[in-house]
Structure 1
Amino acid sequence: MSSFHKTSDSRATISGTKVKNNLPIVSSGIPSLDHVIGGGLPAGSIFAVEEDVLANYSRILIKYFLAEGVACKHDLFVASADENPEDIVKELPLPTTIPQDDEVKAMAVDVNKMKIAWRYEGLTQVESSFGSSTSFGHHFDLSKHIDTDTIKSCNINDCKLDMDSGDSKGFKNGLYYKLLTSIKDAVSKEEYKSSVKKNSNVLRISIQSLGSPVWMAMDCEQEQDGSFGQDLIKFMYCLRVILRDTNAIAFVTIPSHLFDDDHIMNRLLYSIDNAVRIESFAGSSRETNPVYKDYHGLFHISKLSALYSLVPFVPPSLDLAFKLKRKKFVIEKLHLPPELQETKEREQDDITSVPVNCGGFKKKDIDF
């Protein structure tokens, strides 16, 4: 009975990590995102974001992920075929420890709050914003960028994917082979292996817009023979094999709304550990809908993994929405506001609800 004993994991000593299910967990850079996916991103996993139509908010999530790596002194690997990776790194948000404007106002309201109904004071407060009180990870200010000297002091590998791909070896599109080879060379270093006891570190891999029209334009024959989806699925499977049993985490954004075949994303989810989807209100009818006036879009959870666990994490709510404030990105529980404006339907209801002996006046016209 005494043969079972607790083993110490050397990976727990890595800066900016915590251990869960015997796996190092890193922060995504957004406390509310860490909260809804189970505490953070486990080492050796793939986290995918299905981009919004304009890809504005997915870019912000990547910048948070990389900025958290800079704050924790993790190594970075930045790859993109749509943008220059050096330009992405130059716009990382600055870490901050000072409470932001909306948080200061919230604290002031708590101190000087009005006691409207004493019977509700004993009820628990409904948590709308997640991860606001967590001590794991950092908070960032989107209005400020990390200085150039700090960026230069970090270990950052850039992988610019251009049309001159060279050899493909098993892929119709040479960009996938080039990116996969670069990631394999980076992960194969000794400090990223899970078995290393000393001088170990975390490698944060970010891939922006994997499978975008730039990838499709590499070879026009891919759309004719259907090899585009095959290359993408094969790449994701190979990436999963490479990252297992390492201290590397891949953060991938995918423009799934541009895929002609809906089954491509469903097959990709087999190789992805955690996946979310961003549905922006920009350009849609919901943008002007007063019901969603407090939010900029909906936040959907596509898949949550159960690494080293029998059951996956269950988030507190699946009805999630996000909003981009002046200085931060926040994921909250979706609350629909009550109908407060006077509409024709409500006025008609008021008229029919008044007794006949009152003369048919509206409720608001009756003076009590």
Structure 2
Amino acid sequence: MSFKRKTTSTASTPSTPLLSTGLPSLDDILGGGLPLSCSLVFTAPDVHSAYGELVQRYFVAQGVAAGQRVCFVGNDARAGGGGDAEARRDGEEKITIAWRYEQMKPFQTTVAASKAATADACRTFDLTTRIPPNVVAEARIVEVAVDAAPGSTTRVLERLGEMLADAQGGPIRICIPALGSPGWGDLNAQDILRFLHGLRALLRRHPHGCASVSLPPEWSGDSVAAGWHEKLGWVADGAITMAAFTGNPALAATFPGHHGLLRIHTLPAPTTLVPASDRFSTLRGTGTGGENNLGFKCTRKRLVFETVHLDVEGGVGERRTSAPPTTTVAVQAPASRSVGAAVEVEIEGVPPGRARASEEKEHEAGWIPERCVRLLIECNLI
């Protein structure tokens, strides 16, 4: 019998048209990208960060770089919705290392950007730079305004339906950041679920569009409603939570190289019962279900989703200079037995003086012989 490790299939690809999210690692988790006619919801419970909106900026920047139509639901789309990102030339940041390590394959915890020459291939973006103003001015961005009056979600869905019905040719990216924020008015949980369900139905009627939605921190925690994230997975095609470590110092110390964990609630599967991610994702283990060991980190220049591994025992900062003290207790076999070997019992972490004092105290108590008898029986000496 032979065993063969299951790896990502390169010969076959998902049949549903996909759009890149601007993040190669997120594309891998989704099975190649966000399928058309599908919606994806991001929740980020941390109130001190904006990881959900950062993912939205990547989504918009990828659409601008690919020359696709982008529909931004909100205000001041061209001022803040395009994202602080700019395409970086390949090989711009080459690190010089020792010659003997030059040919070694680096340890991979994420996936690299695609080298495909297609129009929607995932670009490489740099968070330290901004999109040039002339590129933003020429971008095909449509803004759908949001107001705080009652019925705001219904009006937005009507406006999106009109835009999708009038669109001709090419895919449309719909970006909805901070759904449920004060700019949307006084919404409740039912309003948000109803809006996401209506958006999903709208995309099914117009399969040339896809939507990326993020919820603000106040609508991202488990305390919103019972089974909140499960409900989000039912009314949307995909639901992912980015749980940062800022509120839990213990996790931040356990995973010093990451900023949070990634929790997958559901993944898009528009035409099949099984998500394409189960077959094509490298980070999730191609069918083995690696949702429990995924995390993210945001460096100065990029956001990365990758696998999370525990450090060596004791942490990377611990330095052991000597072995712990040990105590050796010799037990001699009886003369009547033919076994002449001695048994040495080592007690780690106990100083020799304390161990001897403990043995003497136990001997005075009168129950040390019984323990010695059990030890000799276990060693087959009597």
Secondary structure at the aligned position of 1:158 is classed as: strand
2:138 to 149, 153, 163: 153
Match of 1:248 in 2: 209
1:70 to 25, 39, 64: 64
CA separation in 1, counterparts of 2:78 and 2:167?
Answer: 25
Alignment of 1:162-241 (within 5 A): 162-163=147-148, 165=149, 173-191=150-168, 200-215=169-184, 218-219=185-186, 228-241=188-201
1:93 to 75, 82, 85: 85
* Higher Cα Rg, which structure: 2
Is residue 324–residue 330 contact of structure 1 (8 Å, CA) maintained in 2? yes
CA separation in 2, counterparts of 1:361 and 1:271?
Answer: 57
Match of 1:131 in 2: 112
Match of 1:44 in 2: 37
Structure 2 runs not aligned, ≥5 long: 1-11, 279-283, 331-346, 350-382
Please say if 1:23 is aligned against 2:23. no
CA separation in 1, counterparts of 2:161 and 2:223?
Answer: 27
CA separation in 2, counterparts of 1:190 and 1:280?
Answer: 38
Secondary structure at the aligned position of 2:301 is classed as: coil
Match of 2:227 in 1: 263
CA separation in 2, counterparts of 1:114 and 1:156?
Answer: 44
Distance change (3 Å), C-alpha of 1:114 and 1:69: closer
Match of 1:9 in 2: none
Structure 1 runs not aligned, ≥5 long: 1-18, 116-120, 166-172, 192-199, 223-227, 363-368
Is residue 287–residue 296 contact of structure 1 (8 Å, CA) maintained in 2? no
Match of 2:240 in 1: 276
Match of 1:292 in 2: 255
Secondary structure at the aligned position of 1:143 is classed as: coil
Name the aligned partner's letter for residue 143 of structure 1. T
Distance change (3 Å), C-alpha of 1:161 and 1:110: farther
TM-score where L is the length of structure 2: 0.70
Which stretches of structure 1, 4 residues or longer, exceed 6 Å deviation after superposition? none
1:320 to 288, 294, 315: 294
TM-score where L is the length of structure 1: 0.73
Distance change (3 Å), C-alpha of 1:361 and 1:95: same
CA shift digits 1:166-198 (9 cap, x unpaired): xxxxxxx4110121112111111241xxxxxxx
